A and B are shown apart, each in its own frame.
Chain A
Amino acid sequence: MTIQSEVPMTATTAVPPARPAPALHLDGVGITFGDFTAVEGVDLDVRNGEFVCLLGPSGCGKSTLLSVMAGFVPPSDGVIEMEGHAIKGPCPELGVVFQSSDALFDWLTVSDNIAFGPRMRGVDKARRAEIVEEHLRLVGLAQHADKRPPQLSGGMRQRVQIARVLANEPEIVLMDEPFGALDAQTRTVMQVELDRIWRQRQSTVVFVTHDIDEAIVLADRVVVMTAGPSAGIKSTYQVDLPRPRDVDSPAFVELRHAIREDITAEVAKSLGLPTAGTTGTPEQEVRA
């Protein structure tokens, strides 16, 4: 069992320099809206093929950070690079799965939603049909190919979103609380599904969530954020548990406990409560 945890802030600067350029590189990223500083001084490197979860209390700016990574919003400060090149705007190399299935195109069938990216990029019809076929099977929606999003359940709609993004073969998949609007049972099923799909594809993923279990089930590395405003990275946890992960295993439980203490302190701080009830201080190093 090797759950390592790293000291906050220093962890990202001490990334092993083995690879030439990380898939995603954030250096001193800050996001301000007028006088309001949402995110400040975020340094983060995401390796190729790594699954990173951004975990934090609601309103901590993790979704804002993701929309900057996606190129929807330019950073007010700092540098964001994909494979060594600055991100200038949204692009097919950066796939995004949104929290709301409003992002799907309701007037298109499931197949046509999946084919959307390839169609925009001028992939020919025969090849598109193959891509659609493959991705329908990947997310288990072959039976529903000709339905339209309003006819599907919430879980199915998020599968369509995932298939639509993967069909476009992005370098990095950015997921903004994709299961946040689902009921607890469906969410658990979707986590297992996503874990399976990810192991099959080995894509680079940045996944935003406020659900601790979800983060530990999915991530190679959990990045805990501080409460906003001026949110930043509080600490990171390397998760080396074998997949698929057992949420009841001692190692899982121990890690969950450590991360919960970490986050509870942040939530308490953001609510202006005394942090005496928690054992951890924000700067404490957690070792599980």
Chain B
Amino acid sequence: MTIPVTTAPAASRATARTPRPSRGAARGRTIAQRVGYPVASLVVGILAWQGLASYFGPALVSSPATTWSAAVELTRDGTLIESCLVSLRRIGLGWAAGILVGAPLGILMGRVKLVRTLLDPYIEFFRFIPPIAFVTVAIAWFGIGETSKIVLIFYTSVFIVTINTIAGVLGIEESKLRAAASLGASRRQTFVSVVLPATVPTIVTGARLALGNSFLTIVSAEIVAAQSGLGSLIWTSRNFGRIDWIFVGIIALGVLGFLCDRAIRFVASTALRHYGVRV
């Protein structure tokens, strides 16, 4: 067989030459994908929105232009910024509290079978009750001030962080724990040096899911009894019949959620990269 022998070097030369242009093309594609595609997608989305607005009329759908001027109006008088900051503060505090309680609780439940057995029914009970069911009692118990909203955000965050953390702790490879023990680590050292770092990825996953829940919850919390916040903005706009303001509130919620998730992903992919966090 001489043919393969003579063609092989030519083929390998050809493949050796190709990578350079193909890498360049790949880089070009990634720039297009990273910037061009999202922008194109956004433009198409806005056009579709404009189409819907023209079809249904301003009483049902606020057009992009109207929404933009409403946003400018609400920004000028400070309502939009203030609503965003107030909602963000409530979300931030409740969500952080949810992680600060949920992560240690999950680790404890993951490590100690007795605690898991005792608390598991409660976790599985409460996680099916949506926070909106508690809005009225939360206001009755914690007043119409900030506390009731923060408690509701905490409530919507804590279980999902706990459940993810438990899964993370239970998912730690037995060989890692055995290795730590046979390298001379005490129980406390194993906990600090192996269990905690090995659980970081699932805590981050729990935190991201909890953030989504927090945004879902903030509107119901602020709609019922609040003078401020994006939920309140949306609800008050209804009373003024200002559908364009409602659109501004809705879009602000989406943008804030998007930015918060990007922030988590940024932290996870830089500071927490070594813990194997995949985002």
Which residue numbers of A lie inside 8 Å of B, CB to CB? 70-72, 89-92, 94-96, 98, 100, 102-107, 116-117, 120-121, 148, 150, 164-165, 168
Contacts of A94 in B (CB 8 A): 182
Binds A, one of B91-99, B138-146, B184-192, B244-252: B184-192
Of all chain B residues, the one with the shortest Cβ separation from A92 is B184
Given contacts A98-B175, A102-B173, A103-B176, contact A116 B183 (CB under 8 A): yes
Q: Within the assembled complex, what's the spacing in Å between the Cα atoms of A106 and B173?
A: 12
B74, chain A: closest CB distance, angstroms: 45
The minimal Cβ–Cβ distance linking A129 to chain B, given in whole angstroms, is: 18
B interface list, Cβ under 8 A from A: 173, 175-176, 178-186, 189, 193-194, 197-198, 200, 274-276
A107 to B194, CA, bound (A): 9
Q: Please state if B184 and A121 are interface contacts (CB–CB under 8 Å).
A: yes
Q: Report the minimum CB–CB distance from A114 to chain B (whole Å).
A: 10
When distances are taken between beta carbons in the complex, the residues of chain B under 8 Å from A104 are: 176, 179
Q: Which residue of chain B has its CB nearest to the CB of A94? A: B182
Q: Sort A-B residue pairs by CB-CB distance and give the 4 closest, nearest first.
A: A92-B184, A103-B175, A117-B183, A90-B181
CB proximity of A106 to chain B, nearest CB, Å: 6
Query: Taking CB as reference atom, which chain B residue is nearest A164?
Result: B183
Complex: A52 Cα to B268 Cα, angstroms: 46
- The interface residues of chain B lying within 8 Å CB-to-CB of A98 are 175, 178-179
B183: contacting residue among A92, A102, A107, A150, CB under 8 A: A92
Chain B min CB distance to A96 (Å): 5
Across the interface, do A116 and B276 meet the contact criterion of CB distance under 8 Å? no
How many angstroms between the C-alpha atoms of A106 and B272 in the bound complex?
A: 12
21 sample A-B contacts, Cβ–Cβ < 8 Å, listed by A number:
A90-B181, A91-B182, A92-B182, A92-B184, A98-B179, A100-B173, A103-B176, A103-B179, A105-B179, A105-B197, A107-B197, A107-B200, A107-B274, A107-B275, A107-B276, A116-B180, A116-B185, A120-B180, A120-B184, A120-B186, A168-B183
Q: In the complex the two chains form, what is the Cα distance from A257 to B276 in whole Å?
A: 46
> Using Cβ atoms and an 8 Å threshold, which residues of chain A touch B274?
107, 148
Given the complex, which residues of A lie within 8 Å of B182, measured CB to CB? Answer: 70-72, 90-92, 94-96
Q: Which of A95, A103, A104, A168 has the most CB of B within 10 A?
A: A103
Q: Are B193 and A116 in contact (CB under 8 A)?
A: yes
**Cβ of A148: which chain B residues have Cβ within 8 Å of it?**
274
Which chain B residue has the least Cβ–Cβ distance from A116?
B183
Write out the residue numbers on chain A whose beta carbons fall within 8 Å of the beta carbon of B186.
Answer: 120
Q: How far is the CB of A99 from chain B (nearest CB, A)?
A: 8
Task: Report the separation of the CA atoms of residues A96 and B179 in the bound assembly, to the nearest whole angstrom.
Answer: 7
- A148: min CB distance to chain B, Å: 6
A96–B194 touching, CB < 8 Å: no
Rounded to whole angstroms, the CA-CA distance of A78 and B179 in the bound complex is: 25
Q: What is the chain A residue whose CB lies nearest that of B277?
A: A107
6 additional A-B residue pairs with CB within 8 Å, beyond A98-B175, A116-B183, A120-B186: A90-B181, A95-B183, A98-B179, A103-B173, A165-B183, A168-B183
B residues in contact with A120, CB < 8 Å: 180, 183-186, 189, 193
How many Å lie between the Cα of A105 and that of B195 in the bound state?
A: 10
> With A107-B276, A120-B185 in contact, do A90 and B194 touch (Cβ < 8 Å)?
no
B153 CB → nearest A CB, Å = 30
When distances are taken between beta carbons in the complex, the residues of chain A under 8 Å from B193 are: 105, 116, 120
